[in-house]
Structure 1
Amino acid sequence: MENSSILGHDTQPATPPTQDEKTLGLLAHIITFISAFLGPLIIYLVKKDESSFVSEHAKESLNFQITLAIVSIILFISIVGILLLWVIGIIDVVLVVVATIKASEGKLYRYPFALRLIK
């Protein structure tokens, strides 16, 4: 079953995640507040072969953070865009909190917009 909204969409994983998988899944999102894309990258590289749940959350978080970095650079280059950088920060906080909650509930989460560079 899929739940879609302006804040992204979530699905139930094929197999229910363990509590440790949920914790690592939510960590892949929440750690971006202190490490941008480095945290999810490390989690992905360490856990990609061990847990599909953790791998999916880490990839999604990593792709979203890379997308925001690209958008921020483009906005920074344009003079008018510099005034909109605060909007990117708000979007980041709101969607990372939503993703963290979904991971803690044991659901897979897709951000509403993100370049899917890591597949």
Structure 2
Amino acid sequence: MSDEQELLPKPSQEVRQWAMFCHLSGLLGIWFPFGSLIGPLILWQMKREKDSFIDAQGREALNFQITMTIATLISVGLTVVLIGYLLIIPVVICSFVLPIIAGVKANNGFPYRYPFTWRLVK
């Protein structure tokens, strides 16, 4: 834990929980087409006014899911030249593992920034 994280006041349990839900809602794509985009978008839109921590983490989760959707579409397109089969593996692994890590961090009150994320939603 860095000194900067120790100095920041911890958000309330409810705020941390909603931030965690924003990250974990990206896993809805397992069951619903485009659920990975719709889940974070709906939660972020509903709760972003409540607290700046929810706003920042919801935006981060949505940007990550947009990036993963684009990466998946590119990988599927590249299966024609066979490289897509190799690219889809790390994309799928990151799509499942990173939201869980982000959800745990958010639930502990620490802001999480996804690596390799194209931040379209400001």
Same fold (TM over 0.5): yes
Paired residue for 1:69? 69
1:106 aligns with 2:100: no
1:70-109 superposed matches below 5 A:
70-78=70-78, 79=80, 80-83=82-85, 84-109=87-112
Higher helix share: 2
Aligned length: 113
**Which of 7, 14, 18 pairs up with 1:24?**
18
Contact 1:12 1:106 (C-alpha < 8 Å) held by counterparts = no
Percent identity over paired residues: 32
Q: C-alpha distance in 2, partners of 1:38/1:97?
A: 17
Contact 1:13 1:107 (C-alpha < 8 Å) held by counterparts = no
What is the root-mean-square deviation of aligned Cα atoms in Å? 2.2
SS of equivalent residue, structure 1 residue 99: helix
CA gap of 1:45–1:19, structure 2 versus 1, over 3 A, is same
Q: C-alpha distance in 1, partners of 2:73/2:111?
A: 29
SS of equivalent residue, structure 2 residue 17: helix
1:23-42 superposed matches below 5 A:
23-34=17-28, 35-42=35-42
Query: Structure 2: 5+ residue runs without aligned partners?
Result: 29-34
Contact 1:21 1:54 (C-alpha < 8 Å) held by counterparts = yes
Q: Given the two structures, how large is their TM-score scaled by the length of structure 1?
A: 0.84
Q: 1:18-43 CA distances to partner (integer Å, 9 max, x unpaired)?
A: 10011101111111111201111111
**Structure label with greater radius of gyration:** 2
Higher strand share: 1
Q: C-alpha distance in 1, partners of 2:64/2:72?
A: 12
Between stretches 103-112 and 43-52, larger displacement belongs to 43-52
